[in-house]
Amino acid sequence: MKLKYIKSIIPVTALLAVTFGITSCVGDLDVTPIDPSTNMTPDAVGLFNKCYANLAMPGNGGANGDCDISRLDGGTTGFVRQLFNANELTTDESICCWGDEGISAFNFNSWSANHPMLAGFYNRLYFGVSVCNHYLEVMGDYDATMTAEIRFLRALHYYHLMDGWGNVPFTLVVSSEAPEQMNRQDLYNWLETELLEIVDDLSEPKAKKSSEAGYGRADKAAAWLLLARLYLNAEVYTGTAQWEKAAQYAKMVMDSDYSLFENGNGTYSAYQMLFMGNNGENGASCEAILPLLQDGVTTTSWGTSLFLIASTFMADMGSCGTTETWAGNRARQDLIMKFFPNGDAPNGTTEEMLAAARDDRALFWGKDRTLSVETPTEFTSGFSVAKFSNVYSDGGTPHNSQFVDMDFFLMRVAEAYLTYAEATARTNGGTVTGEGKAAIDAIRSRAHASIRSSYTLNDILDEWAREFYYEGRRRIDLIRYGYYGGNNSYTWQWKGGTITGTMFSPNLNVFAIPSDDLNANSNLVQNPGY
């Protein structure tokens, strides 16, 4: 059966039309409809799409409809929004001026087991696990490729849980029984086995456009890239490095039919076109291994692409393709200095910033801003980030003036290039190899940045920042390099809560199990230090 995952997510009725509580996996789908006439026959396509939709939408009704997670609104519990908060606000890349509960703790590395947004992220991930478990229980024999995709999505959710919380509840069934806690090493082993087991049943990798069957669905390349990410961080997760395997699977992605998008249109660079309103249609989708689909009419959310655009824009920056400009997240000076190491970034427009940086990735706004974040609660204290936009690169009109069409490329090919470069450098005594250098050169050439004669491991870390800032991965890179919590020499502005930066406890490299789940499940033990 050939299915096409399109931007119109088919909602799941009856079984999934309830709002879920904040306890992981405990009876989440063990419900009976009040109305005995309700049709309880599972809808394979609807349930399949619901498993994908958990990453892109708050619930079954779009941005202003129901929310699958209780106690917080759908926008706040959006997967992308909390992926960003947990992995960007806690690092050298971003800081937020809003007063929402939990933002200050993110900004200054001072969260606890009662952090509301981390609880929302945790439960969003477990809701996804539960929906995938349900699909596999009732529709596991429906279609082999679809089953492999749902197993991949379940593994992706468990990967983020393992990365964020370490030792977490684990279950492969829908049950009212409280799940047992699995330690990080065992969950790593399960993830590796699961991904290797399903990969042959996934579709062959191909560069997909939004008009083609398969755009937005996971294929072999998605599994390879998640394996490469797992292996790249294996020393953090298990104590044993797996650099060779990281390089192996990254190279498989690089050699697939996916490719770096390199065709700017004269008005916009190729890099900028990756993050625009028509990125599914303008050619950039050749790089999108796993895009989260957004459409301003049919798949709306406050917590996905709209969040990335609106939270970084203020009206003085010009059009961003939506009427929403929330002025919240902006760059710490440490991110700007990855492009301007001498601290000479201009207080100018994005066009002036790009010209000065000589790097297409320097999508910042410095006009009427200060480079240094002297006042965390003021949006103009710090340069703005203009990376994400709902403007169409071909001059077309977005589908809606408020909600956005920009797909979020959750997994893209460039990650494989930098993974390969770093992994091969680490197996080569910290010196970049010829093939590794070629991978970095390809990334920098696409951005029209200068090509260097060689790259150190720290150069590669800086390249991770320049290529992937604000895409929800900075925390894992800093932890892998030993530059996050604990005794290290790497600081950034407001690290640990002081303007000059200070160390914070290494136990914060892993988040606390939310107190509500800890209280609800006697099988759980809190992570050390909380």
* pLDDT surpasses 80 at 31: no
Is 327 a residue whose pLDDT tops 80? yes
| Average pLDDT over every residue of 125-136 | 98
Distance of CA 290 to the CA centre of its chain: 11
Residue 446, in any domain of the structure: no
Nearest 10 degrees: CA dihedral of 172, 133, 511, 185? 30
- The per-residue pLDDT of the chain, averaged, comes to 92
- Is there a domain that residue 6 lies in? yes
Residue 16 placed within a domain = yes
pLDDT per position as a tens digit, 336-369: 999 999 999 999 999 999 999 999 999 999 999 9
For residue 244 the two structure tokens come to 């060779």
Report d(CA 478, CA 489) in Å as an integer: 12
Taking alpha carbons only, the member of 69, 167, 162 closest to residue 119 is 69
Max mean pLDDT among 8-22, 55-69, 328-342 falls in 328-342
pLDDT at 334: 98
- Continuous H helices in 288-392: 305-310, 333-339, 350-357
Residue 181 sits in a domain of what CATH number? Answer: 1.25.40.390
Pick from 49, 76, 66: which is nearest to 131 by CA? 49
On whether the CB atoms of residues 290 and 410 are closer than 8 A, the answer is yes
213-263 pLDDT, tens digit each: 799 999 999 999 999 999 999 999 999 999 999 999 999 999 999 999 999
Q: What one-character DSSP code corresponds to residue 87?
A: I
Q: Is residue 27 part of a domain?
A: yes
Short-list 399, 260, 383, CA closest to 331: 383
Longest dimension (CA), the chain: 71
Q: How far is CA 346 from CA 269, 309, 340, 364, 463, in A?
A: 20, 22, 9, 10, 21
Within a domain: 75: yes
Residues in a beta bridge with 409 = 291
- In a domain? residue 53: yes
Task: For residue 385, name the pLDDT band (cuts at 50, 70, 90).
Answer: very high
Does residue 33 register a pLDDT over 60?
no
* Residue numbers of the domain that contains 50: 1-202
Mean pLDDT in residue range 18-31: 34
In a domain, 475, yes or no: no
The residue among 201, 240, 260 whose CA lies nearest residue 441 is: 260
Distance CA 99, CA 49 (A): 35
Question: So what's the pLDDT on residue 40?
Answer: 57
Residue tagged 């330690």 (tokens)? 183
pLDDT, tens digit (0-9, with 9 covering 90-100), for 282-294? 999 999 999 999 9
Share of the chain above pLDDT 90, in %: 88
Tally of domains within the chain: 1
pLDDT score at 423 = 98
Task: Tell me the torsion sign for CA atoms 98, 24, 523, 508.
Answer: negative
**Of 255, 243, 248, the residue nearest 422 (C-alpha):** 243
Neighbours of 259 (CB within 10 A): 12
- Residue 185 belongs to a domain: yes
The model's pLDDT over 439-448, given as tens digits with 9 standing for 90+, comes to: 999 999 999 9
**In whole angstroms, what separates CA 514 from the centre of its chain?**
21
The whole-number pLDDT of residue 14 equals 33
pLDDT mean over 319-338 = 98
Residue in the block written with tokens 């229980």: 137
Whether 21 has a pLDDT exceeding 90, the answer reads no
pLDDT at res. 209: 75
Cβ 208 vs Cβ 279: under 8 Å: no
Q: pTM of the prediction?
A: 0.94
Q: How confident is the model at residue 24 (pLDDT cuts 50, 70, 90)?
A: very low
